[in-house]
Structure 1
């Protein structure tokens, strides 16, 4: 069953249920009000009868001439003695003798539903001159007119209910169509994307009332935007990776062909070819390792996370690179709390990437600072500052793109793959942190990484 049909039936059934309850309430209130009014009239008639002089003389009850003038159409009057015997009965309809005749000292009123009509009656004790109970007075009335009214009322209610059911189905189908229109458009666009592979968005009408359908459309458009962006980045990544892999493979293949043709008797040529092949193979290995690192960062988001001393990781990493590159690397640790929750190996890798860039593109000492964010002591700022060639301001936004190199510095001759800063940013984001770069050409570069000591101290970043 289609969702549109389900919504239409749900609306119609809900309206019918409300109308059904309303009809029952209307019917009940009409009967209640009418019977209450009739019972009031019967009580008034009873007061008139008990005010008659003959009412206190049971021996005169059998003479009904004094009661007959008080009898109204569709009415019955009874006088019953203490032994439940009917002493006198006046019935203008001939159909009310089925009322129970039982002596009872209580005063009450009742309503009876019979096959012919609705009957109301009252009963009250008849008191003598000395307050003794002489019998009971019973007055009943057959409500023929009410029956006619109720028949008309039932017919009207059934007709209006049938009309309301028909209109509710038609209206439900219309409103369901209006409500489901964005969903149908969403389905059509998704099917179009699946068939053609072209990303499309729903038209989002500006409105002040941001209801659930508006939010659905907005969320879908946002999701499509992210998917399109990721798809574009993935295509660019594949193209860049293919290009990066093609260069060393082409060099290796060229020198291999050269060796095959001319290298047999030329020792200098063999040595040149072997060195080139080794160099390109090393580049190829490094590039492959970087690609695997990117893939592992995507797949292993929170594996290997522990509590560790951030200051110790930074100190040992800086000391190791200082010995390896024979460069002056200074550490200024201002942290009062060094304990951090995360992956120490990934944090170490991030620092190695930043220090490697700083050492590669500068010849002066490199400074590492560790300090708390003055606005939030739970946030640590790790800064790597060099005094190298610097970067143009227009180039900074693209530094974190995969395979991107600044022309004047990030050339292939430096041995870089263009993935280092992309990996560094992914590591920072996986720890719910951020990374930013400020630089001045000719003066140096400062890279700032902000990391929470505990994940709860910082809102998650947009990964």
Structure 2
């Protein structure tokens, strides 16, 4: 059974049970009230008759006397102790045919005799011969039964008038609840069949949970489509970037195979080119693997580190590797923060490597601490980056045409990886550049990293 039918069935049955319970209570209370009133009337009538009999003259026609107290559709009967009827006063012969039962003391009750409902009241009195007899009033309650039947019909009609609209309302409500879910299922099936990223159409004016669910689904589709496009672009860019070094390696390998043994200069050139391209491919592959990791895989080993010491160590290593001057300017001797020392070093290597590649002048590193934030700025006096290109430098494999040439060995993955490292440390990175004057990359890192 689907959810729509479950909602309709449950709401209808639940309301039906409530209505039946309410109607049953009404019916029982009304029936009991009518029976009590009928019994009380009979007792009052019996008390009046018994009192009148005590004061009645013995010579009085008792049948005529009792007929004056006889209600409609009823019978007054005098029964002796041996169960014989001494006197029957009734409106119809049918009443006199009812069974004769002697009752001791005062009694009153509602009884069903031969399928008919009667009120029976008994009162002991002294008869003409001095014998104690039972004075009984038996009244047929046909009106009460008719009234109860009418009440049954009214309650049944009221039940139908409540349950039927409730069933329709439950159906409408289930449609309102299930239709967005059905639309989502249909959309998912279309996505599965066609491989497209389709969104759910919904009423923007509404702000209920179903609308929020549709909005969340559409946002998820946007994210999946964006990631899918990024993945496609990444694969396309990676294949394009790897194609060139592989072609170079293949060309020099063919050259080695043909002339390497005969021409030492060709051998040296080919080996150097193959080695250079291999190093570049290795660096590119490592960066690509790091960038391919999602947030859960890109973990950082948080430790207490001295940013000034890390900056000086990184500067010294790159000075030796490139033979270039790197100046470290620290406002204090120590700037402590919580972070991953290896990834912070990798971040500095990326930024320093870019500064060295695109600038012939000495590179400057400035380290400072402002309130709860550490700042590290790497400044070069190189060719700079055009203003309209600054927003694109964090895209994978992106290189500014004038400066990021293959001659410098750049892959276009350094700054995206640097931003990934900064984001993992809950920081931010800013680039300020002017063509012909240089570039400053400033990194802002919180001193205390909260996970």
Does the 8 Å contact 2:367/2:375 carry over to 1?
A: yes
- Residues 202 and 399 of structure 1: is their aligned pair in 2 closer, same or farther, counting only changes over 3 Å? same
Pair 1:262 & 2:229 matched: no
Corresponding residue for residue 455 of structure 1: 450
Shift of 1:420: 2.4
Does the 8 Å contact 1:86/1:101 carry over to 2?
A: no
TM-score, normalised via structure 2 length: 0.77
Shift of 1:274: 1.1
Pair 1:237 & 2:230 matched: no
* C-alpha distance in 2 between matches for 1:117 and 1:218: 68
* C-alpha distance in 2 between matches for 1:135 and 1:428: 111
Corresponding residue for residue 3 of structure 1: 3
Shift of 1:229: 0.4
Corresponding residue for residue 197 of structure 1: 195
- Residues 102 and 44 of structure 1: is their aligned pair in 2 closer, same or farther, counting only changes over 3 Å? closer
Pair 1:317 & 2:314 matched: no
* C-alpha distance in 1 between matches for 2:215 and 2:229: 21
Corresponding residue for residue 17 of structure 1: 17
Structure 1 residues 72-118: Cα deviation after superposition (integer angstroms, max 9, x where no partner): 2355779999x9x99999785458879994547xxx98666777355
* C-alpha distance in 2 between matches for 1:348 and 1:366: 13
Shift of 1:14: 2.8
Does the 8 Å contact 1:335/1:372 carry over to 2?
A: no
- Residues 53 and 180 of structure 1: is their aligned pair in 2 closer, same or farther, counting only changes over 3 Å? closer
Structure 1 residues 415-438: Cα deviation after superposition (integer angstroms, max 9, x where no partner): 33222232233334344x142314
Structure 1 residues 368-403: Cα deviation after superposition (integer angstroms, max 9, x where no partner): 223334xxxxxx344324244443443233222222
* C-alpha distance in 2 between matches for 1:455 and 1:88: 105
Structure 1 residues 211-237: Cα deviation after superposition (integer angstroms, max 9, x where no partner): 122112111111100000000001011
Please, which moves more after superposition, 381-390 or 317-326? 381-390
Corresponding residue for residue 411 of structure 1: 405
- Residues 411 and 124 of structure 1: is their aligned pair in 2 closer, same or farther, counting only changes over 3 Å? farther
Pair 1:436 & 2:429 matched: yes
Corresponding residue for residue 366 of structure 2: 367
Shift of 1:186: 1.9
Pair 1:293 & 2:284 matched: no
Matched ranges for 1:14-163 at <5 A: 14-39=14-39, 41-42=41-42, 44-45=44-45, 48-49=48-49, 52=51, 54-55=53-54, 67-75=66-74, 92=90, 93=95, 101=103, 103=105, 116-118=115-117, 141-158=139-156, 161=159
Structure 1 residues 109-158: Cα deviation after superposition (integer angstroms, max 9, x where no partner): 866677735556779999xxxxxxx9999867543222123233334544
Structure 1 residues 308-359: Cα deviation after superposition (integer angstroms, max 9, x where no partner): 214x2x23321211211231122345999x463x644334433443444445
Pair 1:247 & 2:240 matched: no
* C-alpha distance in 2 between matches for 1:334 and 1:67: 125
Corresponding residue for residue 218 of structure 2: 221
* C-alpha distance in 2 between matches for 1:357 and 1:449: 18
* C-alpha distance in 2 between matches for 1:305 and 1:137: 105
Structure 1 residues 255-296: Cα deviation after superposition (integer angstroms, max 9, x where no partner): 111222333322222211111111000001111111222245
Aligned length: 428
* C-alpha distance in 2 between matches for 1:13 and 1:289: 65
> For the pair shown, which has the larger CA radius of gyration, 1 or 2?
2
TM-score, normalised via structure 1 length: 0.76
Shift of 1:301: 4.2
Corresponding residue for residue 209 of structure 2: 212
* C-alpha distance in 2 between matches for 1:124 and 1:305: 101
* C-alpha distance in 2 between matches for 1:22 and 1:109: 30
Corresponding residue for residue 322 of structure 2: none
1:328 aligned counterpart, secondary structure: strand
Unaligned runs of 5+ in 1: 127-133, 374-379, 457-463
Matched ranges for 1:395-406 at <5 A: 395-406=389-400
* C-alpha distance in 2 between matches for 1:371 and 1:95: 113
Corresponding residue for residue 183 of structure 2: 185
* C-alpha distance in 2 between matches for 1:67 and 1:332: 125
Corresponding residue for residue 440 of structure 2: 445
Shift of 1:242: 0.8
Does the 8 Å contact 2:381/2:438 carry over to 1?
A: yes
Unaligned runs of 5+ in 2: 126-131, 320-325
* C-alpha distance in 2 between matches for 1:237 and 1:280: 20
- Residues 214 and 334 of structure 1: is their aligned pair in 2 closer, same or farther, counting only changes over 3 Å? farther
Does the 8 Å contact 1:425/1:434 carry over to 2?
A: no
2:377 aligned counterpart, secondary structure: strand
Shift of 1:54: 4.3
